[in-house]
Structure 1
Amino acid sequence: MGLSQALSTAMSGLRANQAAMSLVSSNVANAETPGYVRKTTNQVQMSTGTGVQTIGVNRTLNEYIQAQLRTETSGAYYASTRASFLNNLQSIYGDPGSSSTLEGSFNALTSALQALSTSPDSQSTRIGVINAAQSMAQQLNATSQGIQGLRNSAELGLTNAVSVANNALTQIASINRQLQGNPGQDASTAAMLDQRDQYITQLSQLMDVRVVPGNGDQVSVYTMSGVQLVGGSDAAQLSFNAQGTVTPNTQWNADPAKSSLGSISISYANGGSIDLISSGSIRSGAIAAYLELRDKSLVQAQAQVDQLAAAMASALSDRTTSGTAYPPATPAPPPGTPAGFDLDLSGLQSGNVVNFTYTDTITNTQHSISIIRVDDPSVLPLKDNATIDPKDKVLGVDFSGGMASVLTQLNAAFGSAGVQFSNPSGSTLRVLDDGAGGMADINAASVTKTATSLSGGGPELPLFTDGGHVYSGTITATGSQQTGLAGRITVNSGLLADPSRLVVYGPGTPAGDTTRSDYILSQLKSGSFSYSASTGVGSNATPYKGTLLGFTQQFTSLQGNVAASAQLLSDGQDVVLNTLQKKMDSVSGVDIDEEMANLLALQNAYSANARVMSTINTMFQSLMQVI
């Protein structure tokens, strides 16, 4: 080997060492930088056969672990977001055993009523009941406000998440374009790849993503459901049409005309768009958690407190009266005369129910019918789940046109079954079968009406109202009166003005009479009621039935278990994510000790190459002296 060739070899070694040392320095400097991938030089033998040439920079990256890490990142952010919200919901419900909970307020109310039944003529015990009832209503109000505050936070979270996602998508596409114009594998290219990976990781925190490599260093990004987010140098854009303040009545619906909450859509440069919520395209990440909380978990929580408020109000104000048999037993009616019941519909409120059962004599099948008074025909027909009893066949009847219209609707619905309706006088509704040997036999009939007065002559009373209005479960175009009731429930202003009405329910009621107070206490403490499956307690086929306190304990316990499970899931997801991150760091991260060892080896190689050059320089000088 000639001196010139040896000098060239030594110089190439020095250049390679300098490049490698520069990367070692960069590795050490970025050891704590999130998303930084360790870099090494890509060295090959020169075409002349001697010396070394640096042709690029390698990133020590395990793409399989990276893909798994992104998947688990989506899962971790979904789980942690959900756990955080549900823990906050649990704090709104309060600690079990505390007086500042729904259960504590309810127990305080029943204790005050027990004192009233012991001393019904005491003004202080009457006021004690009023104060306890107000505390119960205020506790429901605060719980409802807290739930809607969390839903509003989820809505704001979606707004921010969409903004962050759009920035990440734009940056990924921008880096793709830069890489197209910089095909070399140098340090700047490696830095851009790191940066792009960081934006993809940021995106994976918000939604589930899948990265597909393209030609060169290009990538396309999709959701796991197959919706394209980035295609090479083109980025789609997300949009979220936030609707403002969130209330119990604001609900998301796949039909934009019926939806009162924001929806996320994705649009492309070619003009196409997809609704990501209705298509179920986002399945994980913080965005999926926000949607699940806003539209499901927190809606169910609101349904629970609304159901409690409605059941509590109805338990005290609803009176069910059985129909009067017709025809009378004496004188005995002629054989084959249609039989049934007369029902007094005076005072029937919108949302009140007429019930009757009849047997289809042909199939020997018994049918239970609930006729619900409706004053807004736009809501008709009602669904069968308008009542809690799964056996009920529900018929909404428009009462706005008077009794003649009511009869027309009822006979049209049941005439073919052999059931007949008529109005013999006033507000009486007569329901009859078609006589002996006919198609139907009427078994029973009753009407449930809401008491609207504090002095109606019976123990029933509207102790709790819907913001000053009677609660009767009315259904209108804006929804059921029950929705959001917990946030509106108040104590009847008439009782605030005259607490004696807790005892005096009619003319001449003695001051020491305990009929009404005993009734209120019995209904609240011992009354058994059915509750909707929308609360998460029970099911449509087998609704939960129990006392008001039992139902309260059921759903608060349910929420506690859900919150605990969500936290366990989040903790478990964190363990998986941390394990994968450690694996990723062990492959792609910077080990300071390893880098120092590499630096020492490079320094030794640099010294060796420098020594060779020094030796060659000495040899050249000696050769020149000889010449």
Structure 2
Amino acid sequence: MGLSQALSTAMAGLRANQASLALVSSNVANAETPGYVRKTTNQIQTAVGNGAGVETVGVNRVLDDYIQSQLRTETSGAAYTRTRANFLSNLQSVYGDPNSSATIEAAFNSLTTALQALSTSPDSQSARTGVLNAAQALAQQLNSTSQGIQALRNSAETGIANSVSTANNALTQIAKINRQLQGYANQDAATAALLDQRDQFITQLSGLMDVRVVKGEGNQVSVYTTSGTQLVGGSDAAQLSFNTQGTVTPEAQWNADPSKSTLGTISISYPNGGSIDLISSGAIRSGSIAAFLELRDKTLVQAQDQVDQLAAAMASALSDKTTDGTAYPPATPVPPPGTPAGFDLDLAGLQAGNTVHLTYTDNTTGVQHNISIIRVDDPSALPLKDTATIDPNDKVIGVDFSGGMSSVVSQLNAALGGASIQFSNPAGSTLRVVDDGATGLSDVNAASVTTTATSLTGGGPQVALFTDGGRPYTGAITASGSQQTGLAGRITVNSGLLADSSRLIVYSTSPATPAGDTTRSDFILSQLTSGTFSYSATTGIGSSSTPYKGTLLGFTQQFTNMQANAASSAQQLSDGQDVVLNTLQKKMDATSGVDIDTEMANLLALQNAYSANARVMSTVNSMFQSLMQVL
């Protein structure tokens, strides 16, 4: 090897060392930078005359693609479980500490205790006041619980809006970096830095939703949801939009039909046109956005339904009055054989949402049928679904009463004409239902009407202790939904009772309720403590085929325990997901992160190589000088 060749080889070594030293310096400087991937030089051997040299042809990122992909998946899962755990923990706080007095159960028990005192001393003004104060405390506890649930739903709505904004920025940046990388032919330090930045935005996006990354040529990537919806395609990014609807209320519900939805939906729009509703298509399955959607539209809706059903059952238990129908025809005189038989029902007090219950037997099959006839004052709400009642064996018929009794009869005969039973209106507000008489195809077994007591002195123990913001709670159904929805946030104590507490005892003025009579207070106490009621499967307790049936306190304990268990399970799941995520992050750091000790060892090796090349150059320089002196 000649001196010139030796000098060229040493200079090539110095240049390679300088490039490597620059990367070591960058690695050390970014050791704590999130998302930074350790860099190394890509060097190849080159020919220098009759000798050999080295050339740096690029920069490598020390990256395990499989671990990175798994890390993104678990990042989505961790964001989902963490969001749910935080919200359910906050929901548990809304229900209150089980050991404190600020819970629905504690307020309920205080009311029953006050009622026991009233039944012991019915003439005591302080006992009456105690009942009303306890009832107000229970109503206020339900009000605050409902407000807390809706505040959490509103937070979820806000979380979706913020997440969509963050996602759009990430998508825009990923597409922008894709365009920049198209101009970089070589895998140099600038390219590697852009790849780091793009990975950071993809990781940020994976915390919001589940993503799948497909690599293309020229350092290009396409990003999809795991369901297959494209988010980024090369240099083009789709944009998400969220049409927030304002303050969330119990009545606000998301619906796949935009004309019926009262909550915001997420849509994706593409640069070349076209859009997709990501909620109705189920495109987002994980990440914080998926958690927000599930909380807003399912979990917290169910929580609201629980307290609403408690409020509705409690109000109805005290105010509902069921009256059996009068047998028709009368026993005397004895009716002729084959005379249609059934019942007469007085519908004078029937209000929207009140029910006529009918049981008849189809003698051709031997099957007994239950019919719930519900008064509806909003014709646009018809026809009603069978879910309008909790009993899975009921057939529900909604009847529009706006046209009078003749219209009611026509609607019922049209709905049940094939059942061999007939309806008629013999006079006034009387509804008559009878079998088919001589043919014997059917038998009407029972009929009753359930109305809501509105008078404080109607002659019976039933009383509207609780009202819907001053209105009677009747369970009315309109096109916009059921009166039950949001009732827990509106429930109040009857203002008439607050004005005259004696009506907690006095239920009749003609004749007057005897002094010391505890019929009404005993009725209220019995209904609250011993009455059993059925609750819809929408509460998450029981099923549609076998609804949960129990006391008001039993139902309260069921759903509060359910929420406590859900919060605990969500936290355990989040903790477990964090363990998985942290384990993967450590693996990622071990393969792609910067280890200072390793970099220092590399630095020493590079310094030694630099010194060796420098000595070669110095020696060659000395030899050239000696040759010059000889010449």
The alignment partner of 1:44 has SS state of strand
For residues 79-100 of structure 1, the C-alpha deviation after alignment (integer angstroms, 9 at most, x for no partner) is 0001100000001001113210
Q: Which residue of the partner structure matches residue 478 of structure 1?
A: 480
Structure 2: distance between partners of 1:97 and 1:65 = 46
Please show how residues 391-402 of structure 1 align to structure 2 within 5 Å.
391-402=393-404
Q: Which residue of the partner structure matches residue 577 of structure 2?
A: 573
For residues 370-389 of structure 1, the C-alpha deviation after alignment (integer angstroms, 9 at most, x for no partner) is 00000111000000110000
Please show how residues 152-551 of structure 1 align to structure 2 within 5 Å.
152-507=154-509, 508-551=512-555
* Cα offset, 1:492, TM superposition: 0.4
* Cα offset, 1:578, TM superposition: 0.3
Q: Match for 2:16: what amino acid?
A: A
Q: Which residue of the partner structure matches residue 150 of structure 2?
A: 148
Structure 2: distance between partners of 1:552 and 1:429 = 38
Structure 2: distance between partners of 1:94 and 1:524 = 22
Q: Match for 1:271: what amino acid?
A: G
Q: Match for 1:217: what amino acid?
A: N
Q: Match for 1:290: what amino acid?
A: F
Report whether the alignment pairs 1:12 with 2:12. yes
For residues 3-40 of structure 1, the C-alpha deviation after alignment (integer angstroms, 9 at most, x for no partner) is 00001101111111111011001101100100000000
* Cα offset, 1:410, TM superposition: 0.7
Structure 1: distance between partners of 2:380 and 2:527 = 34
Structure 2: distance between partners of 1:83 and 1:123 = 47
Query: Which piece of structure 1 moves more, 182-191 or 101-110?
Result: 182-191
Structure 2: distance between partners of 1:538 and 1:298 = 18
Structure 2: distance between partners of 1:529 and 1:5 = 99
Query: Which piece of structure 1 moves more, 321-330 or 390-399?
Result: 321-330
Structure 2: distance between partners of 1:303 and 1:22 = 63
The alignment partner of 2:272 has SS state of coil
The alignment partner of 2:84 has SS state of helix
* Cα offset, 1:478, TM superposition: 1.5
Root mean square deviation of aligned Cα: 0.7
Report whether the alignment pairs 1:583 with 2:590. no
Q: Which residue of the partner structure matches residue 596 of structure 2?
A: 592
Structure 2: distance between partners of 1:337 and 1:542 = 38
Q: Any gaps of 5 or more consecutive residues in structure 1?
A: none
Structure 1: distance between partners of 2:456 and 2:194 = 75
Structure 2: distance between partners of 1:454 and 1:12 = 102
For residues 335-355 of structure 1, the C-alpha deviation after alignment (integer angstroms, 9 at most, x for no partner) is 111110111111101000000
Q: Which residue of the partner structure matches residue 35 of structure 2?
A: 35
For residues 60-114 of structure 1, the C-alpha deviation after alignment (integer angstroms, 9 at most, x for no partner) is 0000000000000000000000110000000100111321000000000000000
* Cα offset, 1:435, TM superposition: 1.2
Structure 1: distance between partners of 2:330 and 2:185 = 98
Structure 1: distance between partners of 2:517 and 2:190 = 90
Report whether the alignment pairs 1:618 with 2:622. yes
The alignment partner of 2:444 has SS state of strand
Q: Match for 1:262: what amino acid?
A: G
* Cα offset, 1:437, TM superposition: 3.2
Structure 1: distance between partners of 2:582 and 2:417 = 69
Structure 1: distance between partners of 2:583 and 2:438 = 78
Q: Match for 2:40: what amino acid?
A: T
Q: Match for 2:622: what amino acid?
A: T
Q: Which residue of the partner structure matches residue 21 of structure 1?
A: 21
Structure 1: distance between partners of 2:421 and 2:595 = 85
Structure 2: distance between partners of 1:183 and 1:473 = 71
Q: Which residue of the partner structure matches residue 82 of structure 1?
A: 84
Q: Match for 2:513: what amino acid?
A: T
For residues 403-442 of structure 1, the C-alpha deviation after alignment (integer angstroms, 9 at most, x for no partner) is 0100000111112211011111111111000014332110
* Cα offset, 1:330, TM superposition: 1.9
* Cα offset, 1:264, TM superposition: 0.2
Structure 1: distance between partners of 2:515 and 2:89 = 48
Taking structure 1 as the reference length, what is the TM-score of the superposition? 0.99
* Cα offset, 1:331, TM superposition: 1.9
Q: Match for 2:24: what amino acid?
A: V
Q: Match for 2:235: what amino acid?
A: S
Q: Name the count of aligned residue pairs.
A: 627
Report whether the alignment pairs 1:604 with 2:612. no
For residues 149-196 of structure 1, the C-alpha deviation after alignment (integer angstroms, 9 at most, x for no partner) is 000000000110000000000000000000001121111110000000
Structure 2: distance between partners of 1:276 and 1:550 = 40
Structure 2: distance between partners of 1:511 and 1:104 = 31
Structure 1: distance between partners of 2:483 and 2:390 = 15
* Cα offset, 1:477, TM superposition: 1.5
Q: Any gaps of 5 or more consecutive residues in structure 2?
A: none
Query: Which piece of structure 1 moves more, 297-306 or 179-188?
Result: 179-188
* Cα offset, 1:453, TM superposition: 1.1
For residues 595-622 of structure 1, the C-alpha deviation after alignment (integer angstroms, 9 at most, x for no partner) is 0000011111111111111111111111
The alignment partner of 2:439 has SS state of coil
The alignment partner of 1:56 has SS state of strand
* Cα offset, 1:511, TM superposition: 3.5
For residues 307-362 of structure 1, the C-alpha deviation after alignment (integer angstroms, 9 at most, x for no partner) is 00000000000011111111112221111111101111111010000001111111
The alignment partner of 2:559 has SS state of helix
Q: Which residue of the partner structure matches residue 111 of structure 1?
A: 113
Following TM superposition, the consecutive aligned residue runs of length 4 or more in structure 1 with deviations greater than 2 angstroms are none
Structure 2: distance between partners of 1:123 and 1:83 = 47
Taking structure 2 as the reference length, what is the TM-score of the superposition? 0.99
The alignment partner of 2:397 has SS state of strand
Q: Match for 1:579: what amino acid?
A: T
The alignment partner of 1:51 has SS state of strand
For residues 183-236 of structure 1, the C-alpha deviation after alignment (integer angstroms, 9 at most, x for no partner) is 211111100000000000000000000000011100000000000000000000
The alignment partner of 1:482 has SS state of coil
* Cα offset, 1:510, TM superposition: 2.5
* Cα offset, 1:271, TM superposition: 1.0
The alignment partner of 2:86 has SS state of helix
* Cα offset, 1:573, TM superposition: 0.4
